[in-house]
Amino acid sequence: MHLSIKNLSKTYGNGVKALIDVNLEIPIGMFGLLGPNGAGKSTLMRTIATLQEPDTGSVTLGDIDVLKQKEEVRKILGYLPQEFGVYPKVTAEELLDHVAVLKGVINGRERRDLVQALLQKTNLYAHRKKNLGGFSGGMKQRFGIAQALISEPKLIIVDEPTAGLDPAERNRFLNLLSEIGENTVVILSTHIVDDVKELCTQMAIIHHGEVLLTGNPMDSIRGIEGKIWSKSVPKEELDSYKENFNVISERLIAGTPEIHVYSDTKPGEGFINEFSDLEDVYFSKIKQSAEAVATPQL
């Protein structure tokens, strides 16, 4: 099973180009789709999940034409949307049982075993009799995975799953995802660089609807080795540094700005050569793309 996306484009009625000629080959395993808010990730996820139509292009999953054989896709798809609504007055066990019926698990005993196994797998067994309305963000997300796993999906799509989770919940959730990524295509859409770095064997960076980079996260980090330079600068000089250097990111460390500059050689006095990280890959690609938009080739 392998997901192949070719020449996918989508412009919304208001003129926003959400996807521009997207081409991606997604193998079995965890695939990270990384991009800032508004990049087009949800549009792409919803299109693959058969929830909306592109203007042009094709999507195939193994032998299945995703855009035409929607029912076939839905049988083998587990989708965890960004906003996962739950019925607040129903328990985890009841709702899983209900979803299992909807997905065609009609044998009572088989269904009971399946529901128990999924509650165990997602670490929710102890909470199975609690109403979903009282679940924390992390528990809701794990419940989302439990319901997505009911029909043993071959393709799992999770859209921004760790936004709003505290660090412990996030870890638990990412561990769960990495377990299921072993024999399934799992697409993790996120703006959180560390989610991709920790979990994904392949990734794509998307911005303004365009794929800027695809590959293995570690390879892309190696690709910029030696080119990332950091410097702590006084707040009042920050703007001048941004004008004069190729600053790809800035952050405050104990109140003082630290900039990262992308450069083949030492950019100036006081710069320290840093170990490159996926965040540097991400910000350098986004910066390049912004510059290409600002100065179009004539």
The nearer residue to ligand ADP, 40 or 181, going by C-beta atoms, is 40
Give the nearest distance from C-beta 102 to ligand ADP in angstroms.
Answer: 26
Give the nearest distance from C-beta 83 to ligand ADP in angstroms.
Answer: 12
Per CB under 6 A, 12 contacts ligand ADP: yes
Binding window for ligand ADP (CB under 6 A); candidates: 36-44, 58-66, 92-100, 267-275: 36-44
Q: Which of 32, 35, 138, 153 binds ligand ADP (CB under 6 A)?
A: 35
Per CB under 6 A, 38 contacts ligand ADP: yes
Q: Which of 16, 101, 272, 290 binds ligand ADP (CB under 6 A)?
A: 16
- Six token digits for residue 16: 């926003």
The nearer residue to ligand ADP, 18 or 124, going by C-beta atoms, is 18
Per CB under 6 A, 290 contacts ligand ADP: no
What Cα–Cα distance (Å) separates residue 267 from each residue in 227, 231, 290? 10, 10, 21
Size of residue set near ligand ADP by CB under 6 A: 12
Between CA 282 and CA 197 the distance in angstroms is 11
Between CA 175 and CA 129 the distance in angstroms is 24
The nearer residue to ligand ADP, 12 or 275, going by C-beta atoms, is 12
Per-residue exposure over 268-297, b if at least 16 CB sit within 10 Å of its own CB, e if not: eeebeebebbbbbbbbbbbebbeeeeeeee
Binding window for ligand ADP (CB under 6 A); candidates: 14-22, 111-119, 213-221, 273-281: 14-22
Q: Left, alpha or beta for 151 (phi > 0: left; psi -120 to 50: alpha)?
A: alpha
Between CA 94 and CA 130 the distance in angstroms is 10
Q: Which residue has the tokens 């870890």?
A: 171
Q: To which H or E segment does residue 231 belong? A: strand 228-232
Q: Which of 32, 40, 54, 181 binds ligand ADP (CB under 6 A)?
A: 40
Q: Is 125 exposed, middle or buried (0-12, 13-18, 19+ CB in 10 A)?
A: middle
- Binding to ligand ADP (CB under 6 A): which residues in 227-286? none
Q: Which residues bind ligand ADP (CB under 6 A)?
A: 12, 14, 16, 18, 35, 37-43
